Chains A and B, each alone.
Chain A
Amino acid sequence: MNSLIKEIKDSIGENDDLLFTEQQLKDLSVVLFGLNSLIDLGPTIKQLEQLGQKNYSNKEKQKQISQLGEIKRNAGEITSLLLDGKLMIAPSPNADFVVSVDPVPVKLNRAIDQITNENTMLGPFVSFNEDSLTNIGVMRKHVVSEKIRVKHFLTGTHNKKELSLIYYEGIVEENLLQTVLKDIKRNSINDLHSIQDVTKMLGITPYSIVPRVKTTEMPSEAAQSLLNGKVILFLDGLPFALILPSVFADMFFLESDKNLTYPLMVSLRSLRIAGTLIALIFPGLYVALVAVNPEVLRLELALSIAQSREGVPYPAFIEIIIMLVVLELIMEASVRLPKSIGPTITMVGGIILGQAAVEAQLVSNLLVIVLAATTIANSTVVGVQNLLSIRLLKYIVLIFSSVFGVLGILAGVFFICAYLAGVSSLGVPYLNFKQSKGDGSHG
């Protein structure tokens, strides 16, 4: 009774997609089991049938089966292999071993697709997908070198997932690699579902405004990171590369910029830096100049601003907070909504923000311009995570400037600088001004 197969059946539980069948492979009678949600059974059996041609004796039969794949005797291991989509073949229902075979899998992954969230003008359009093995393959296509090292780790206790680590031997920063390896091995029982789980596994604080892990769905970005001495993680199920560590420059520098000529690249990157600064400063500047330090402006300008605010019934800070919140809601809503309703929100938002609010004298003309400039400028930053960081950080400047005016803007910027300077993950500071390897090697 207590045979191996019974044990496995018990551990997998009552799953209706657990296939368990005795099968005649021509003359060879075997027991097949596996999860039919992961295995395409028909073609698999067809493939197996080609093997069992002859009339076998019992001993030969066992030998023949064991040649099909790896022999497994441990119930726990077999269970996890089953969950991984392997097919098990046992010679009889109470055999003491099974053979794990790679079956024809059900197609559960999408094909390698175009990048969807990060756009590039000049550069490869291939993107990562949910299958980490495919992603590693894509990476190998991008960096053809015998120095690339790939390591797999099976993580999780309740939810087994494969975490893959890639680095470039010889270029990778040794300290970084060792820390990452140590942390992954130490915390390999952690269940990984999201990037937060991965950062916790690596001992990086989750309470950070700036992203500690750079995510990208562009293989060319990931490839360049490898060459810069960083390590890449792929978590099965996440369609992007997790690049460690994330640094300040990632906010502005895109690898595909290098497909442009030098002056164009430099001006494009400066544009992004300027965009970030504008996104950070403009809302604060508006409040500071309108409410606290109007004398800084030229008289004509100050008057025209005052005129545009005529009839607005609340202080500038409240005015801008209301509009900013509406704007954030619109942005969030347009992400959430299905593509068919999205344009409605854009239109409604555009009309409310652009026209109605001003005409009803709820906000000033200038504020609408400021907000538009802020939002547009904010979007120049590279990467979704960085975009969100900047979106949040601008409120710091805004609050400081509503109290201290123009001084508050500079104090807020200084505060943000101080925050960024204090951030470091895996021993690499976020403000790492030297991009390539070698940081720390000068003693």
Chain B
Amino acid sequence: MDRSLQVVMMYILTHLGLIFFLYPANIIESTDQGHWIPISLGIIIHIAFVLLYLKGLSFFPGRNIITIYSSFGKVYLILFLLPVFLYFISAAIIIVRAYSEILTIIFLANTPLWALMALLLFIPLFLSIQGVQAIFRTGILVSFLFLPFLLFVLIVSFQNVDVSYLYPIWNNDFSFITKQSYINSFFAISGGFLFLGFVQPEISFQRKKIVIAFAAVIPAFILSVYIPLLTFGKATAETFVFPFVLALDTIALSWIMFDRATVFFLLSLITFIMLFITLVLWKASIIIHHSFPSIKTGYIVAALTIVIYIACLLIPNWQQVQMLFKWNSVLRFYVLFTVPLSICFLGHLSKKKVY
């Protein structure tokens, strides 16, 4: 049956989770003015590759990329799927580690990191064992519960905005492309959409409806950068590790019993991140399951979780996390470019064979 809504929701939720924490600082750091230029470049790349990916997938109705690659031989499997797998594992490690650090910094100063990392892994473990359909159903339920919050907070976040910070609009300096911080910003751009190729045949969706998801994700990209920029100005915003979080902290709503109502916003984003980790675990587990069909997916997920947890424990500090971001960018770009392109290419190839 058509589960486009579930797929669209999952797409939106995971991207929202990825965007609001690290992306703003990366973009703000990458250039001095005209931040919309790097943002739109990122968005364009994102949309282009998602569409390419979807186009490629449309040549193989009802199949996921694992079966597509394996039908073309082992070489493709190793060339494309192995990096994807490694990317997933490294992304999971980085996300769990980074987000638990974020949580201690902005919110839970007294909770030990290992406990937070355990939480960020335990719930995804529990969910990913239940299978892909459960993951997507959770997405729907969670979006019903938490998205209204998000919408509300995004609206009130304009409270302290000063439009004059928009200027100067144009910037002739395109050096941001080579900056590490801009490259890091692709974490939010490239990480979330690969699941579209994994969910079939269990969950089928219409390609056109993914475009709806763009409509929600694109404003998120823009707002996440421009709300802190317009609140603090570039010079101040640049000094923060989490500019968006701080911008939300400036909101004062006298009619709510909470002083930091925005905390709920941030924490619901954390649940979206859990959803993202779940997806990553599940994707990694079915890749392994494809190679070793005799092992139950439950055991694979559990083993992966333990590996990721140990790896997270081994990372001592934030600098190391930044380092990992850097190392991970090679894999990130490889996956971002090769997977959609190769799927599209293979699609054309198989189409020619038919005729």
Contacts and interface: CB of A to CB of B under 8 A. Distances in A.
Interface of A: 277, 292-293, 295-299, 301-302, 400, 403-411, 413-415, 417-422, 429, 431, 433, 439-443
Contacts of A296: 258-261, 263
Given A296-B259, A413-B145, A421 B264 contact: no
Given A297-B259, A413-B145, A417-B141, A407 B1 contact: no
B75 interface: no
Nearest to B261: A296
A421 B134 contact: yes
B107 A421 contact: no
B131 A422 contact: yes
Contacts of B2: 442
B134 A418 contact: yes
Contacts of A298: 257-259
Given A296-B259, A414-B271, A417-B142, 16 more contacts: A293-B108, A297-B259, A405-B107, A407-B119, A410-B267, A411-B123, A414-B123, A417-B138, A418-B127, A418-B134, A421-B127, A421-B141, A422-B130, A433-B140, A442-B2, A443-B1
Contacts of B264: 406, 410
Nearest to A407: B267
A62 B302 CA distance: 74
A299 B204 CA distance: 50
Interface in B120-137: 123, 126-127, 130-131, 133-137
B85 to A, nearest CB: 24
Interface of B is mostly: helix
B1 A439 contact: yes
Contacts of A422: 127, 130-131, 134
B141 A411 contact: no
Given A295-B259, A298-B258, A404-B111, A442 B138 contact: no
Interface residues of B, number: 40
B215 interface: no
Contacts of A295: 259-260
A10 B2 CA distance: 62
A408 B264 CA distance: 11
Interface string B239-272: 0000000000000000001111101100110110
Contacts of B169: none
Interface of A is mostly: helix
Given A407-B103, A417-B141, A297 B258 contact: yes
Contact of A421 (B116, B135, B204): B135
B274 interface: yes
A415 B126 contact: yes
B254 to A, nearest CB: 9
A419 B257 CA distance: 31
Contacts of B314: none
Contacts of B133: 421, 429
B323 interface: no
A307 to B, nearest CB: 16
Contact of B1 (A293, A301, A408, A442): A442
A259 to B, nearest CB: 26
Interface in B313-355: none
A297 B263 CA distance: 10
B130 A421 contact: yes
A100 B12 CA distance: 69
Given A404-B119, A418-B123, A439-B1, A411 B274 contact: yes
Considering residues B146, B204, B259, B268, which has the most beta carbons from chain A within 10 angstroms of its beta carbon?
A: B259
A405 B115 CA distance: 12
Contacts of A403: 111, 115
Given A296-B258, A406-B264, A421-B130, A431 B141 contact: yes
- Report, nearest first, the 3 A-B pairs whose CB atoms are least far apart: A422-B130, A421-B137, A442-B1
A404 B130 contact: no
A297 B257 contact: yes
A422 B136 CA distance: 10
Interface in B261-307: 261, 263-264, 267-268, 270-271, 274-275, 278
Interface in B85-132: 103, 107-108, 111, 115-116, 119, 123, 126-127, 130-131
A414 B142 contact: yes
A400 B141 CA distance: 19
A277 B145 CA distance: 9
B107 A293 contact: yes
11 contacts: A277-B145, A296-B261, A299-B259, A403-B115, A406-B107, A406-B267, A407-B103, A408-B119, A418-B278, A420-B138, A420-B141
A301 B116 CA distance: 28
